[in-house]
Structure formats: C-alpha cells, structure tokens
Amino acid sequence: MTSANAEPLAANAEPIGVAVIGAGYWGPNLVRNFQSASDFRLRWLCDLDVDRAKRVLGGYSTVETTGELATVLADDKVDAVAIATPAGTHLDVAMAALAAGKHVLVEKPLAASREEGARLVAEADKRGLTLMCDHTYCYTPAVLRIRELLHAGELGELHFLDSVRINLGLVQRDIDVLWDLAPHDLSILDFVLPPGVAPVAVAAHGADGIGAGRACVAYLTLQLNTGAIAHIHVNWLSPVKVRTTIIGGAKRTLVWDDLNPSQRLSLFDRGVDVATSDEIGDELRRDMLVSYRSGDMVAPALTEREALRTMVEEYARAIRTGTPALTDGRSGLRVLSILEAASQSLANGGTMVGLNEERADLNEGWEQR
C-alpha cells in the first residue's frame, strides 16, 4: 500500500497497479485504456454488479473482480484507482481511496459540490497523493493545440470565446443541462486560458420548455479579468448536434469544429484593427480609422489520437513525478466553483455572480496552469 505521505514512483519502476471503480457507462473505456498502457497494470475492476464487471473484462482476463471497495483498497499491489461512479458517490469513494494511500483519478465532475471537491483536494494535499479529474476533452489533440496556441500568444490578446454544445437529449433525471454539459466547456476554458487570465463573474439563463422540472436549455456568460467575455450555450432540445467553439484574439480567430474530423481547427487572420489615438493624433478621428483585416485561413494538421489514452499517460506522469496533473483536483474545483455560481445566477433570474472569493482560494492553481 502506498504510504500516507506518498513518494513519487520512479519512471523506470514496475507498472503502477491500478483499479477501476465502476463498470457502467465510462468504466469500460477506462479499463480498455489502462490495459493498453505500459505504465499501468490493471489489477481490479470493482462494481456492485460483479457479473457486469466480468462481462466488461471478458472470459479470459486475469484482472480480478469484486463488489467490495474495501477489498480493492486493502490490496498492497494497488497504487492508484480510477473512479467512474455517479457524482454523488465521488466524495465517499475517493476519500476512502486517499485514506488508504491510493492515488485517485475521478470522472467529471470532481464531486457533487464545491465543498465536497475542496475536501478531496485538501485530503490529497495532506497525504501527498495525486488527485486528478478526468476532463477528457482537455486531452483531445484539438484542445491540446488550442492550449498551446493561446499560451504562446498566437491569437494575441483574448477578446471573446463562444462555445455551442447542443444536441437532442438525453434529459437527465437528477441534474439540469448546465451540470450535464457545461462541465465540458468550463474545463476546456480552464485548460486553455493563458496564465493570468481567469473568470471573475458568471451569469446564467435557462429555460424548461418541456416541463422536465429543470433547465433543458442554458446560456452562460463569463466575464474575464482582462475584460474579455466567454459565452457557453448548452441544450438538450436541439434537433441537430453542434460542437463548435470560436476564440477571437487581437491577432487571429480560431474556430474549432469537433464534428469535422477533416478540419477540426481553422485559424483565421481576419478581424478588426483600430488605430490608437497616438497614431492618428486626434482621438475624435478614431471611428474613421477602423479597418477590417481579411487574411489567410490556416488549418493546422492534427494527429488523431484517443483523448483517454493521453489522459492515462498524464495520470502516470503525475504519479511518477509527484507533480500536479494538467487537470488536477484544483482544476476540477474551479469548474465546480463556476457551476455553483451559475446555478445561483440561474435561480436568481440571471444576475451576475462574482467569483472573486473562489478565485482567491484557488489563485495558486490558476498561476500554475
């Protein structure tokens, strides 16, 4: 068993023993990627329905199955766990794993509330263990390239971000569309924003046109500390599926169409230029010197690679080096902070809710991204 104050595992050490907790919708994807990763050895698949776990593994697997979490956590050969259970169980399962000295990967969202997420972050810090959130979209080749471009300043000063994530269903029974779909876009925003750029306030508007008892359509508007704006549209009721993000900067504008595999990213050298008052010598003439730039469009080449494979490799890197994962517990906590503030705004008719308190608590995480 990993000690309470865990030491990083050497890069040339034996494969990391890992157990997957949950064999439902997402668990099989984790099983497949851990089994194919040289950095890991999958030792257990734990699910309350043991027969389901056995079906996921197949008839010839040497991976053990159990319905008892305690059995997995008592195994000294298990160094890490990956949790793919309902969000309401994340706190109890992850806290038990951390208490047993295991590194923890949690399916999004990190927890059911910001308070629960904060407890997980504090516990992992106290024990010197890796806590990582499986924000899978952040590990797609497209988002990794977007992060690289924004951090390098290739788009110039950020002006706006507009994201649309809409489709028909599935209407969830326990959460609204905000908590179902927006975590994807908020985790991507958190991941790609350049250092020093962060949300400071959020407003949310929603509607329940079918009488589901919760918002089925929602719009989020985030104010950034630089004066830029981010807008997110999530929707369960659209007859067409759209996954598009536009990020506008002072130099270039980027368009990400996740449903276009032949051209997911497009960089446009098109925009609006305004001469400064120093250049024109008379501030009153500024409106006369607005120019429109229409340059080339470039489609960066991307190597297609499964995001989960990259995510699993990042989990191994974080464990072996003892350094935070790109989507560590604090990134999951920042997403929860925005979701809770957005829910507050939604309940209050769309009022803007400040994030200053949350930003102060998590300032260290923003600066380290």
Instruction: Provide long-range contacts, Cβ within 8 A and 24+ apart, for 358-366.
Output: 358/114, 358/334, 359/198, 359/199, 359/200, 361/118, 362/330, 362/333, 362/334, 362/337, 364/330, 365/328, 365/330, 365/331, 365/333, 365/334, 366/195, 366/196, 366/198, 366/334
Cα(321)–Cα(118) distance, integer angstroms: 23
The pair of structure tokens assigned to 43 is 């030792």
Domain 16-134 sits in CATH at 3.40.50.720
Our measurement of the distance from residue 169's CA atom to the centroid of its chain's CA atoms, rounded to an integer in Å, reads: 21
Q: 204, 212, 202: which is closest to 237 by C-alpha?
A: 212
Tens-digit pLDDT profile for the chain (369 aa)? 444 456 666 555 799 999 999 999 999 999 999 999 999 999 999 999 999 999 999 977 899 999 999 999 999 999 999 999 999 999 999 999 999 999 999 999 999 999 999 999 999 999 999 999 999 999 999 999 999 999 999 999 999 999 999 999 888 888 899 999 999 999 999 999 999 999 999 999 999 999 999 999 999 999 999 999 999 999 999 999 999 999 999 999 999 999 999 899 999 987 666 666 555 555 555 555 655 667 678 888 898 899 999 999 999 999 999 999 999 999 999 999 999 999 999 999 999 999 964 444 444 444 454
Question: Which residue bears the tokens 């994030």?
Answer: 355
Q: What is the pLDDT of residue 50?
A: 96
CB burial string 310-320: b at 16+ within 10 A, e below: bbbbbbbebbb
**Secondary structure (3-state) at 311:** helix
Residue 200: enclosing H or E segment and its boundaries? strand 199-207
Task: Tell me the two tokens of residue 274.
Answer: 């305004």
Tokens of 327: 């989507």
Place of tokens 């794993």: 97
Which of 43, 41, 42, 45 has the alpha carbon at shortest distance from 13?
A: 41
Give the tokens for residue 213: 């008892």
Sequence ranges of the domains in the chain: 16-134, 138-305+334-368
Q: What is the largest CA-CA distance in the chain?
A: 79
Would you state the pLDDT for residue 278?
Answer: 58
How many angstroms separate the CA atoms of 65 and 58, rounded? 11
The whole-angstrom separation of Cα 148 and Cα 145 is: 5
Paired residues of 291 in beta bridges: 273
pLDDT of residue 304: 86
What does 16-72 look like in DSSP terms, one character per residue? EEEEEE--SSSHHHHHHHHHT-TTEEEEEEE-SSHHHHHHHH-TT---EEES-HHHH
Distance between CA 117 and CA 111 in Å, rounded? 5
Question: What is the pLDDT, as a whole number, of residue 361?
Answer: 46
What is the spatial distance between Cα 335 and Cα 210, in angstroms, rounded to a whole number?
28
- pTM of the predicted model as reported, rounded to 2 decimal places: 0.87
Fold for 138-305+334-368, please state it.
Answer: Dihydrodipicolinate Reductase; domain 2 (3.30.360)
Give yes or no on whether 16-134 and 138-305+334-368 have one common fold: no
The two tokens of residue 122 are: 């504090």
What are the tokens at 328? 């560590």
Radius of gyration, CA atoms only, the chain: 22
